[in-house]
Chain A
Amino acid sequence: MAMLWSKISALLPLNEEQFPLQFSDKVESSVVDILKRSRRQLYSNATSNSCMLNAQIILDISWEKLNTGTWRHVDKEWRRVYSYGCLFKVAALCHEDPSRDKILQAVRTCDMGLIMGAAIMDNILQAVVRILQAEVRKSSKEDETAACAEVKRIKTESPCVLVVREELAVPRIKCPSLQSFNINYLLPLRPVILEGIIDHWPALNEHPWSIEYLRHVAGCRTVPVEVGSRYTDEEWSQTLTTVNEFIDQYVLNKSGVKGLGYLAQHQLFDQIPELKEDIRLPDYCCLGEGEEDNITVNAWFGPGGTVSPLHQDPQQNFLAQVVGRKYIRLYSPKDTDKLYPHQSQLLHNTSQVEVENPDTEKFPEFVKVQYLECVLQPGDVLFIPAQHWHYVRSLELSFSVSFWWS
């Protein structure tokens, strides 16, 4: 296992002098002092305990900064400091023949840096986690065969059948030309389901996304998970778990604990490049004015029953369905006042109404409003125009990929 450390240290600069620690004035000198101490320890024979201690100090102080004020306003410098803390902690964990447990802790630390931090040293944490994952996979070959049985079990538990009324159905069109999509749907901001446009995705061909595949590619990786029936509920919260834990607890319900979990609105493909290789950017995004780099790609993975309450987003959305089916309802922004949006700043883009069980006394206008609905199947891509209200409920185990573009 000294091999592991040699692989990781090969990613690091040759010596202390070449290890960059540049920060703006936002990061006070006392914190930079601790960072320098950690750097010194990295290249000397410091004990793993004292390295951990300094790394933890860096993580704690930057974590406090990350939790101060609104996330949008957190200075990028503090996120970089946090990433350095993660790097030093990983070094401390992997230095002396780490156990499998320590390696998993190191993977989690890299993920925290990738999720909460900002890229440092050419995104070194991404390179480190790749090495660590390879190490984890070596020792877990046996666990993967057990996974096949559990998938078969899910398939036999067939979900209910949902019928979409024809007059309310979202129109479907197969592989339209860029021009016809632009003229008929994008410019007039009309929703439509595009069929056949993701048939070439590896996620639907060479690497069909399944529970086994996801466990293999990302099982030990830490991701943010939403817990609770919907984000407007008081009981709703977010937590961080590994993909394996998420699948065990919320998809397979192994622990028998009640409650929904949803891996929602997470830029998983930035965190796990192998999954990014399985999808493609829809060509139709080029019809927008924005840069390709500014397109936000989110993963939505969870069991049947996950709900996104009726809400609107500021950008155009391609919602690509890869695994399982979702029921989706769409309302026009023209009818916003009849959808009773929350008054608060935080939730003003969300309706107060429970779409499939509306309180007709509190929200009398709601039931009169026209809508479109559909059941999105694997291979479908739903175009949700900007500001168009949408409600989503998964009918079974589901994995969708959304593209927010302008």
Chain B
Amino acid sequence: MRWFGFGFNAFGQILKVFHPKELRSYVERSGCCLKTSRISASWSRRASLHLDGECVREIATLTLCKLDLNRIGYTSCCFPGYPLNLPLVTGGYIAPKPPFYRPLSPHLTAKSLALGAKHAILLSVSGAVYTWGLGSHGQLGHGGLTSEEEPRVVEALWGMPMSCVATGGWHSVCISDGGDLYVWGWNESGQLGLPSRALCQDTASSPSEKPQDGEKHEVFISIQAFPALLDVTPSCEIRTISCGSRHTAAVTSEKSLLAVGEYGQLGHQTLISLDEPQRVEFFKEQQMCVVDVVCGAWNTFAAVAKEEVACS
């Protein structure tokens, strides 16, 4: 798999700022070239997992160090500082404050766990979504701004099995079995793909933004407290998603990469934030099929299938 990255690069996590650039494969001292199979990124560091499985090299401008990563069950890993991601363990999860081990309800068989700045989202095997933690920006999806101490089911999605969940700093997203994308939480930077007032004000100078004659009042969403189904045009199924601090990226069934939210990490070759999902044209132009996406806090990494097969 080849990986491309774009976005925040102040620490050399990727090579260029907003034009997707291919990440170099890591060359071992023996001269053996290892391919990257998994990527995880924090604000200032990127970790790549290479094909021989057990070694993780940290790529940064300052040092190269080797870490042994033998624990399993991480949905994403991070380096000290931002934010602390914690593993699922048998029967429960580890919390940052005592009691450190918290059991999950016996009725709950967890499939995956995602962690935002101050909230968590859990996907059960049956496809139900549970959230808890800070609710100040609507990121829990229960319709209000209050925080929850214990996992609470997102009732709005009850009955619709979800296949994948992800969290950003203050937002949450999930994909249904049928490939629909649901979003909720903070939309200040357009990260939900819904109209954002802040972005409208920034682009107010461009003539295309002038309001039409008549009583047209645009609805802006700053906080979406209930899950909302995101309409993606042209219509397609969403395969996988990842969130950064204030942006969201999704891989579609057509192997395209969509991105929305805060500037350079969108790969659209501009520094303008977007509040409507747009395809990252680079991959289409290069006739590449995007199969996976991983977001760091302010950047995006996309995996491209090895064989450049025609992407239907």
Q: Which 5 pairs show the lowest CB-CB distances between chains A and B?
A: A30-B44, A28-B81, A68-B117, A69-B118, A68-B118
A30 contact from B43, B146, B246, Cβ within 8 A: B43
A140 at the interface (CB under 8 A from B): no
> Known: A30-B11, A30-B43, A64-B245. Is A69-B81 also a contact (CB below 8 A)?
no
The docked-state distance in angstroms from the alpha carbon of A28 to that of B42 is 12
Q: Which residues of chain B come closer than 8 Å to A60, judged between CB atoms? A: 298
B80 at the interface (CB under 8 A from A): yes
Assess whether B146 is in contact with A68, with CB atoms less than 8 Å apart: no
A70 contact from B11, B45, B136, Cβ within 8 A: B136
Assess whether B81 is in contact with A30, with CB atoms less than 8 Å apart: yes
Encode contact with B along A50-87: 1 for CB under 8 Å, 0 otherwise: 00001001001100100111100000000000000000
The docked-state distance in angstroms from the alpha carbon of A64 to that of B137 is 13
Q: Smallest Cβ distance from B183 to chain A, in angstroms? A: 18
Q: Which residues of chain A come closer than 8 Å to B80, judged between CB atoms? A: 28
The docked-state distance in angstroms from the alpha carbon of A34 to that of B10 is 8
A139 at the interface (CB under 8 A from B): no
B82 at the interface (CB under 8 A from A): yes
Other 5 A-B pairs with CB < 8 A, given A30-B43, A30-B45, A67-B137: A30-B44, A64-B246, A68-B118, A68-B169, A69-B134
The docked-state distance in angstroms from the alpha carbon of A386 to that of B290 is 62
Query: Can you report 24 A-B residue pairs in the complex whose CB atoms are below 8 A from each other?
Result: A28-B44, A28-B82, A30-B43, A30-B44, A30-B45, A30-B81, A33-B11, A34-B10, A57-B8, A57-B10, A60-B298, A61-B43, A64-B117, A64-B169, A67-B137, A68-B117, A68-B118, A68-B169, A69-B118, A69-B134, A69-B136, A70-B136, A344-B146, A346-B145
Encode contact with A along B134-146: 1 for CB under 8 Å, 0 otherwise: 1011000000011
B130 at the interface (CB under 8 A from A): no
B18 at the interface (CB under 8 A from A): no
Q: Which residues of chain B come closer than 8 Å to A345, judged between CB atoms? A: 146
Q: Give the interface size class of chain B.
A: 20 to 34
* CB-contacts of B116-148 with A (<8 A): 117-118, 134, 136-137, 145-146
Q: Smallest Cβ distance from A39 to chain B, in angstroms? A: 15
The docked-state distance in angstroms from the alpha carbon of A67 to that of B185 is 13
Instruction: List chain A positions with a Cβ less than 8 A from chain B.
Output: 28-30, 33-34, 54, 57, 60-61, 64, 67-70, 237, 344-346
Most buried by A among B10, B222, B298: B10
Encode contact with A along B261-301: 1 for CB under 8 Å, 0 otherwise: 00000000000000000000000000000000000001000
Chain B: which residue is nearest A68 at the CB level?
B117
B3 at the interface (CB under 8 A from A): no
B170 at the interface (CB under 8 A from A): yes
Assess whether A67 is in contact with B170, with CB atoms less than 8 Å apart: yes
Chain B: which residue is nearest A27 at the CB level?
B81
Q: Smallest Cβ distance from B43 to chain A, in angstroms? A: 7
Q: Which residues of chain A come closer than 8 Å to B169, judged between CB atoms? A: 64, 68
* CB-contacts of B129-178 with A (<8 A): 134, 136-137, 145-146, 169-170
Q: Which residues of chain B come closer than 8 Å to A30, judged between CB atoms? A: 11, 43-45, 81
Encode contact with A along B3-31: 1 for CB under 8 Å, 0 otherwise: 00000101100000000000000000000
Chain B: which residue is nearest A70 at the CB level?
B136
Q: Smallest Cβ distance from B60 to chain A, in angstroms? A: 9
Chain A: which residue is nearest B222 at the CB level?
A237
Q: Smallest Cβ distance from A347 to chain B, in angstroms? A: 11
Q: Smallest Cβ distance from B189 to chain A, in angstroms? A: 10
Chain A: which residue is nearest B80 at the CB level?
A28
Encode contact with A along B184-215: 1 for CB under 8 Å, 0 otherwise: 00000000000000000000000000000000
The docked-state distance in angstroms from the alpha carbon of A232 to that of B136 is 17
Most buried by B among A34, A54, A61: A61
* CB-contacts of B232-252 with A (<8 A): 245-246
The docked-state distance in angstroms from the alpha carbon of A83 to that of B162 is 43
Q: Which residues of chain B come closer than 8 Å to A61, judged between CB atoms? A: 43
Q: Smallest Cβ distance from A58 to chain B, in angstroms? A: 10
Q: Smallest Cβ distance from B42 to chain A, in angstroms? A: 9
The docked-state distance in angstroms from the alpha carbon of A70 to that of B145 is 12
Most buried by A among B11, B44, B80, B246: B44
Q: Which residues of chain A come closer than 8 Å to B82, judged between CB atoms? A: 28
The docked-state distance in angstroms from the alpha carbon of A70 to that of B147 is 11
Chain A: which residue is nearest B201 at the CB level?
A239
The docked-state distance in angstroms from the alpha carbon of A345 to that of B147 is 11
The docked-state distance in angstroms from the alpha carbon of A185 to that of B279 is 68
The docked-state distance in angstroms from the alpha carbon of A67 to that of B171 is 13
The docked-state distance in angstroms from the alpha carbon of A344 to that of B169 is 25
Q: Which residues of chain B come closer than 8 Å to A237, judged between CB atoms? A: 222
Q: Which residues of chain B come closer than 8 Å to A29, judged between CB atoms? A: 81
Q: Smallest Cβ distance from B157 to chain A, in angstroms? A: 23
* CB-contacts of B74-94 with A (<8 A): 80-82
Q: Smallest Cβ distance from A23 to chain B, in angstroms? A: 13
